[in-house]
Amino acid sequence: MFLFLCALNRTCSLTGYPCSSYSDFLEGRCLQCEAFKPAPCPVLGYDMSQWRDTLLKLGQTRAFFSTSSTLPYRSES
């Protein structure tokens, strides 16, 4: 819940990276945002709607992001 509120209040910025699996994401294989061009990778939060059309075109899309246990919840992985 805190992560959701942080994103809605824009006190943290969590970028979602499209990836077929979490293990590939952890291995660093999915840090590109080619699927979303010309837009950047989606950022969790209130402004997520700007990726709506792109996400609808892509169909089902998996995206992952890393978090920490404390504010700003962003993990540098």
How far apart CA 6 and CA 13 sit, in angstroms, is: 8
Residue 77: which pLDDT band, with cuts at 50, 70 and 90?
very low
Reduced to 3 states (helix: H, G, I; strand: E, B; else coil), residue 70 is: coil
8 in Cβ contact with 46 (< 8 Å): yes
Q: Is the pLDDT of residue 1 over 50?
A: yes
Residue 72 within any structural domain of the chain? no
Residue 15 within any structural domain of the chain? yes
pTM of the shown model: 0.66
φ, ψ for residue 54 (rounded to 5)? -65, -45
Reduced to 3 states (helix: H, G, I; strand: E, B; else coil), residue 19 is: coil
Residue 75 within any structural domain of the chain? no
Q: What is the pLDDT of residues 21-44, one digit of tens each?
A: 999 999 998 888 877 777 778 887
Domain extent for 13:
2-64
3 in Cβ contact with 73 (< 8 Å): yes
Number of domains in the chain: 1
Residue 57 within any structural domain of the chain? yes
Does residue 71 or residue 26 have the better pLDDT?
Answer: 26
Residue 74 within any structural domain of the chain? no
